[in-house]
């Protein structure tokens, strides 16, 4: 039977390499960690000073620039939201008119009970359109926040459905199922 070979620990090549060598845990020795930490702190301070100096020399007030960009973005978002609100209200009013016009046909083909359902649906859509038109963007945002807080599962589901519909609309009619 062969004798098992027992590995022996190597000796460091020099005293300097002994300080930077790894101890039995695989981590650098404390003196090496302290040196690395000190060097990192020095570099961080130098970079911070350089950036501050460059900002001061450029004469640009970055906080003011950021506030101006934020203000512009907010105004643009409110403008776009207001236009979208107007278009949505008009579309809802058009849908309500279409449903009302179709109610007579529903009366003739399916009966007056179903025609009444169509008229009630048209009134509900018209009421929602008026409600949308009467509120400003901040009120709508507040209501949306409240709705999400009260029923987050429904909000997530609605967002998923809306995302799916938008994806299908974005795809367009490029691919057809054969």
Using CA atoms, how far apart are residues 87 and 3, in angstroms rounded to an integer?
A: 88
CB distance 159 to 147 below 8 Å: no
In a domain, 126, yes or no: yes
Q: Given pLDDT bands bounded at 50, 70 and 90, which one contains residue 150?
A: very high
Q: Any residues with CB less than 8 A from the CB of 100 and at least 6 apart, and which?
A: 118, 119, 122
Residues 76-102 have a mean pLDDT of: 92
In a domain, 103, yes or no: yes
Q: Is 121 found in the same domain as 92?
A: yes
In a domain, 109, yes or no: yes
Q: Is 143 found in the same domain as 104?
A: no
CB distance 62 to 51 below 8 Å: no
Residue 92 has pLDDT above 70, yes or no: yes
Q: Percent of the chain at pLDDT above 90? A: 39
Candidate from 69-73, 98-102, 168-172 with smallest mean pLDDT: 168-172
How many structural domains comprise the chain?
A: 2
Q: Is 157 found in the same domain as 125?
A: no
Domain residues for the domain of 152 are: 137-169
Using CA atoms, how far apart are residues 155 and 141, in angstroms rounded to an integer?
A: 14
Res 5: pLDDT: 54
In a domain, 177, yes or no: no
Residue 176 has pLDDT above 80, yes or no: no
In a domain, 151, yes or no: yes
Q: Is 143 found in the same domain as 128?
A: no
Residue 21 has pLDDT above 60, yes or no: no
């Amino acid at each position: 039977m062969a004798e098992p070979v027992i590995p022996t620990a190597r000796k460091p090549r020099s005293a300097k390499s002994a300080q930077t060598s790894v101890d039995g845990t695989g981590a650098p020795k404390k003196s090496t960690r302290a040196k690395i930490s000190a060097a990192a702190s020095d570099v961080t301070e130098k970079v911070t000073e350089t950036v501050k100096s460059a900002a001061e020399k450029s004469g640009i007030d970055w906080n003011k620039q950021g506030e101006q960009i934020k203000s512009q973005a907010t105004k643009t978002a409110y403008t776009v939201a207001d236009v979208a609100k107007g278009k949505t209200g008009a579309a809802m009013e058009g849908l309500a008119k279409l449903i009302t016009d179709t109610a007579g046909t529903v009366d003739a083909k399916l009966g007056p009970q179903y025609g009444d359902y169509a008229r009630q649906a048209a009134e509900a859509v018209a009421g929602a359109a008026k409600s949308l038109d009467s509120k400003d963007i901040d009120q709508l945002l507040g209501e949306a926040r409240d709705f999400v807080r009260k029923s987050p599962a429904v909000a997530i589901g609605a967002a998923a459905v809306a995302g799916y519909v938008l994806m299908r609309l974005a795809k367009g009619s490029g691919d057809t199922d054969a």
